[in-house]
Structure 1
Amino acid sequence: MRTVYVNGEYLPEDQARVSIFDRGFLMADGVYEVTSVLDGKLIDFDGHAVRLERSLGELEMASPVTREELLEIHRELVRLNDVNEGMIYLQITRGAPSDRDFVFPDAETTPSTIVLFTQNKPGLADNPAARKGMRVISIEDMRWGRRDIKTVQLLYPSMGKMMAKKAGADDAWMVQDGFVTEGTSNNAYIVKGNKIITRALSNDILHGITRAAVLRCAAEAQMEVEERNFSIDEAQEADEAFITSASTFVMPVVEIDGTKLGDGTPGSVATRLREIYLDESRKAAI
């Protein structure tokens, strides 16, 4: 049985409790992060911690722990649950006032709620899907306008994944005003003539921690990167495509809305970037 962390306590998962009045449950009034673990060490922890602080700040929400305390909690959960490859999920909400109300509770009297738990994922780095590639469909992006804040309101992305599943695909890319924003839980890229193209940062997409790291890897490998909008039509004519996220790292995309890219197998740029990212991430892991 897993040991989880709830508001300062390490507990067996079946003893973990959160109030029914918690605003994360009632209002999706919370933020989250997912940090990968490889070889028992944390990948890109500092990047996730910085983004967490930004998300909290944008929502005027207090953090119940310091960055140093958060690192220690992550490491202790890895130790207690003997995680070699996997993920740590972290969620902070505005807390549990005495009753339901749209108005934010007083932070002085309603402390934030913080929970963390681990997910063991043996073979996370050596994922067979990376050798096969994934198929995506396109759907309309119907999320709220502040996708740069990593909130727990994930209903539409969840619906998008179900749309993909029903269509026999692996995931969905969301489209707004004719251009791809991102995947349901990942950033999206295409490759044309060895140039990597991905949407520029704004409120329209999540500022991916893996995205930032992969683009640094690309620059160091002297790959050309262009940050701009692209359409599904352009993507279908690309040489290759891929996604990035904390749990998939770099994952090739081989089909978009039924159209195969190239010969329908993972491209060389995505494959090489995955190798570089995993190698560099392992070196820098804490």
Structure 2
Amino acid sequence: MTHDYLADPRNETILIDVNGELFPRAKAKVSVFDSGFMLGDGVWEGLRVHKGKIPFLERHMDRLFEGAKTLDFANMPSRDEIIARLHACLEANGMEEGVHIRLMVTRGERSTPYQDPRVTITPPTIVIIPEYKTPVAHHEGVNLFTVHVRRGFPDVQDQKLNSHSKINCIMACIQAAKAGADEALMLDPHGFVATCNSTHFFIVRKGELWTSTGEYCLGGITRGVILELAAEEGITVREKSFSLTDVYGADEAFITGTFAGLTPVKSVDDRQIGEGARPVMERLITAYLARIDKECA
């Protein structure tokens, strides 16, 4: 799996923030009437901690609050308040390195099991789960499988919204797992490559870096950083429509995400990608790690 991590016994004693109050892991709970549990009515962010700081935090907050505004959440705490809770939770746990945070915001509790937001009776529910998670290194690369589940049009489910409603991605993940792959490669409604079920997808062809148009995938934070770094490195970047034929004939391929950064792709649909050399990805990994250090200086 692309999100494999090393088990860490310290996670058994972590403190989790639920609406500003800290609870031991076993006692951290939300109501069965919570909008997130009941209907998947929420937005979330995955964050990493490096040298006691959270890289690209402002970009993550921009995406979180844009999602909350899209879903028309009422009585949202301020941006500064949520950031203060994040840091307070890390401090209470004594966490400074090798930590992944899941920040979740739902509409709040409802008075009855019903989808209409007007039955919401509390402010948004906010949960912060920090865990020690060291990604398992996939040096040889991961294997992807192209699934039948598509990334759809925004009038059906806007892929820009990082919502709790991830059923399409879960269905894609199930199909890829049943095929023996690590992650699903998903196409857009026109049959072009869009993204993966939980990461973003890049290929390298003749020294150029290609990724999808971005019209049918989440506005990934790491994806955006990689595009910026590639331009700074003098690498030609193309956000464009491309097909599986382009993928199978690529010289390199890799996926990106907040959790593991950049991970090489070994094969797609049992077609080996390239000959094993990954010069473009290696340059970008070096630049990415340097950018994170700079962010957390």
TM-score, normalization by structure 1: 0.92
Q: Matched residues in 2 for 1:184 and 1:43: separation?
A: 23
Structure 1: where are the runs of 5+ without partners?
Answer: none
Cα deviation for residue 63 of structure 1 reads 5.8
What secondary structure, in the 3-state scheme, does the structure 2 residue paired with 1:140 have? coil
User: Percent identity among equivalent residues?
Assistant: 31
Cα deviation for residue 106 of structure 1 reads 5.8
What secondary structure, in the 3-state scheme, does the structure 2 residue paired with 1:41 have? coil
Q: How does 1:1-286 map onto structure 2 within 5 Å?
A: 1-62=13-74, 64-83=76-95, 84-105=97-118, 109-122=121-134, 124=135, 127-129=136-138, 131-142=139-150, 144-176=156-188, 177-202=190-215, 204-263=216-275, 265=276, 267-285=278-296
Q: Matched residues in 1 for 2:91 and 2:243: separation?
A: 45
Structure 1 letter corresponding to 2:226: V
With over 3 angstroms needed to count, the CA separation of the structure-2 counterparts of 1:248 and 1:63, relative to structure 1, is: farther
With over 3 angstroms needed to count, the CA separation of the structure-2 counterparts of 1:23 and 1:114, relative to structure 1, is: same
Structure 2: where are the runs of 5+ without partners?
Answer: 1-12
Structure 1 letter corresponding to 2:290: D
Q: Is the contact between residue 248 and residue 271 of structure 2 (CA under 8 Å) also seen in structure 1?
A: yes
Q: Is the contact between residue 252 and residue 274 of structure 2 (CA under 8 Å) also seen in structure 1?
A: yes
Cα deviation for residue 266 of structure 1 reads 5.4
Q: Matched residues in 2 for 1:54 and 1:192: separation?
A: 34
Q: Is the contact between residue 194 and residue 214 of structure 2 (CA under 8 Å) also seen in structure 1?
A: no
Structure 2 letter corresponding to 1:128: A
Q: Which digits, 9 at most, give the CA deviation of each residue in 1:181-201, with x for residues without a partner?
A: 110111111111111111123
2:9 counterpart residue number: none
Q: Which moved more, 1:49-58 or 1:35-44?
A: 35-44
Q: Matched residues in 1 for 2:118 and 2:131: separation?
A: 32
Q: Which digits, 9 at most, give the CA deviation of each residue in 1:187-241, with x for residues without a partner?
A: 1111111111111232x21000111111111111111101111111110011111
Q: Matched residues in 1 for 2:123 and 2:202: separation?
A: 40
Q: Is the contact between residue 111 and residue 119 of structure 2 (CA under 8 Å) also seen in structure 1?
A: no
Q: Matched residues in 1 for 2:48 and 2:286: separation?
A: 16
Q: Matched residues in 2 for 1:252 and 1:104: separation?
A: 42
Q: Which moved more, 1:36-45 or 1:62-71?
A: 62-71
What secondary structure, in the 3-state scheme, does the structure 2 residue paired with 1:65 have? coil
Q: Is the contact between residue 133 and residue 266 of structure 1 (CA under 8 Å) also seen in structure 2?
A: no
Q: Matched residues in 2 for 1:157 and 1:199: separation?
A: 17
Question: Aligned pairs, how many?
Answer: 279
Q: Matched residues in 1 for 2:174 and 2:91: separation?
A: 34
Q: Matched residues in 1 for 2:43 and 2:253: separation?
A: 29
Q: Is the contact between residue 33 and residue 150 of structure 1 (CA under 8 Å) also seen in structure 2?
A: yes
Q: Is the contact between residue 64 and residue 114 of structure 1 (CA under 8 Å) also seen in structure 2?
A: no
Runs in 1 of length 4+ with deviation above 4 angstroms?
Answer: none
With over 3 angstroms needed to count, the CA separation of the structure-2 counterparts of 1:63 and 1:240, relative to structure 1, is: farther
Q: Matched residues in 2 for 1:4 and 1:230: separation?
A: 43
What secondary structure, in the 3-state scheme, does the structure 1 residue paired with 2:171 have? helix
CA RMSD of aligned residues (A): 1.7
